[in-house]
Amino acid sequence: MHLDIRKILSILPHRMPFVMVDRVTELVPNEVIRGYKNVSINEPWFAGHFPGDPIMPGVLVIEALAQIGGILAYASDPFDQQGSLMYFLGIDRTKFRNPVRPGDRLDLQVEVLGHHSNVWKLRGEATVSGTLCAEGQLLASIVERER
């Protein structure tokens, strides 16, 4: 299953400039999702991270994995998006291996490690041209939106 940006925006609550997934290229519910983010010099964080040597902040690479993981969770067990949100609860075993720079295509892969009730445990990897940039385990929960 492939998802374009219109479908991604219909699932994620995020909006520009904080959407970190441009396309989903593969999705197997309850198993794995693959997609990517095109990294552009026009993104606002590059002005200060770092002038003359722009690098995508590691926390945003992890955010990209969390967002694509949220798409996987929704596709696996759809929830009411009007009444619920998926919150990122934590990360474990996270390592940053190589920088991500403007012009890169950040490839994202997340697999389900476990799912119980409204809690998801996921494992993600972010690569550029086959080189590992970041990896880690993510924990997330689907909660009711506050009114």
Q: Which active-site residues does the annotation give?
A: 49
Is residue 11 a contact partner of residue 71, using CB atoms and an 8 Å limit?
A: yes
* Residue 113 token pair: 């490690």
* Residue 33 token pair: 């999702």
Distance (Å, whole) CA 90 – CA 75: 21
* Residue 9 token pair: 């925006």
